Amino acid sequence: MTQNSKNILLVSGSEQNVGKTSFIRRVIAHNASHKLVAIKISPHFHEPTSGLIPLHVTENYRVFQETDASLPKDSSLFLQAGAEKVFYIQTTDAFLKEAFLLVSEQFDPEQAVIVESAALRKKFEPAFFIFIQKKFETIKTAALKMQEMADVVVFSDSGQFSLDPTAITFDQTWKTKQDDYS
């Protein structure tokens, strides 16, 4: 089973702490009636925390399902916001697509999916790609390339966003409310 790209919203950012998780939580809360799936992808390998149930563990990637909504980590925060299922992937770029496809087997291919990942856009074209950066920030060359691929660039400033996360909706595909008027 391969995940349907029209159901995937990808969120990336220029660096850490630009508001990706806060933005995603608001999108999840606004679209919770769709019983969406959230996926956090990290290039860093850490010891799993409580609530992470291992699904696939190899030397190249680790795939977990998050089950604990009580912790302050990103995957728990996605559950708190209303995601039906949350997965956490630790992988290098070389095995990102393989790990992502394994997670895609864990849910209905027609289900709405929101992914936080810096690298997935290099391997996969989602229905909608949002790039978040701090307002007035000068970003690195690698981040500029990601920014250029984005459907929308969102500027963040102290928890406020240039695009209201509630403007992102799922109706058979991801779009902004402004798309309804195009």
Question: For residue range 10-51, what is the model confidence (pLDDT) as tens digits?
Answer: 999 988 889 999 999 999 999 999 999 999 999 889 888 889
- Cα-based distances in Å from 76 to 40, 51, 79: 10, 8, 5
Mean pLDDT of the 78-97 span: 96
Task: Count the domains in the chain.
Answer: 1
Burial classification of residue 136, based on how many CB atoms lie within 10 Å of its CB (0-12 exposed, 13-18 middle, 19 or more buried): exposed
Neighbouring CB atoms inside 10 A of 159's CB total 9
> What CATH number does residue 115 fall under?
3.40.50
**Residue 179's pLDDT band (cuts 50, 70, 90):** low
Q: Which domain holds residue 52?
A: 5-181
pLDDT band at 2 (very low <50, low <70, confident <90, very high): very low
Closest alpha carbon to 177 in 5, 41, 30: 30
With b for 16 or more beta-carbon neighbours within 10 A and e for fewer, the 17-37 pattern comes to ebbbbbbbbbbbebbeebebb
Residue type, 155: F
